[in-house]
Amino acid sequence: MPRLFVALPMPEEVAIDLERLSTGLPGARWTDPEDYHLTLRFVGEVDHETFWELGEALASVRVPPFDLALLGLGLFPPRGEPHTLWVGVESPEPLIALKRKIDRVVRELGVAQEKRNFHPHVTIARFRFPPPPDRLGSWLKGRSLFRTRPFPVSHFNLYSSVLRPEGAEHTLEASYDFVAGVMERV
């Protein structure tokens, strides 16, 4: 059964900015630049019929294109030993509107709601073991003003993923243009 999620891919210039952050923390498993994305909806495992229905239904999602900038750094969980390092989003309102439309399409197919609140971010590292707190604090402080230039967002993608010991392997399944609602199966 396919394990699916809907996400925004990061443009090359943003991936370059994110990759520049990817050094200096012991125990960090840095995200490969080709895998940078902002998850809008984790769907989970679905049967093949639902996979195809979802692929078709997402073509109905239309929103005006918008600009987005990444801003700031954070950790999951916010308290306790961190396991994920992420970059946040500045002014996420258009992103939230897009997510609501995607959620509606997914819900209409009978897929269960996500239990976690939406916190828009791009994961840049996962920790095998938490870095020393003073080193992590210093690293975060030195990069606290991180911000990308705004970049245009005019499409989203449907991905499948396979979990592997070295990390998830993502496969692009389809891409959807906001305006035309065009779906391109890959």
* Enzyme catalytic residues: 37, 121
Beta bridge partners of residue 5, listed in sequence order: 42, 159
Angle between helices 48-57 and 93-108 (to 10 degrees): 130
Q: In what order do the strands lie in the sheet with 122-127?
A: 28-30, 122-127, 84-90, 66-76, 151-153
Q: How far is CA 78 from CA 84, 95, 96, 167, in A?
A: 10, 22, 21, 22
Does residue 45 contact residue 3 with C-beta atoms inside 8 Å? yes
The DSSP secondary structure of 33-72, one letter per residue, reads: GGG-EEEEEEEEE--HHHHHHHHHHGGG-----EEEEEEE
**Strands (DSSP E) found in the chain:** 3-9, 28-30, 37-45, 66-76, 84-90, 122-127, 151-153, 155-164, 167-177, 183-185
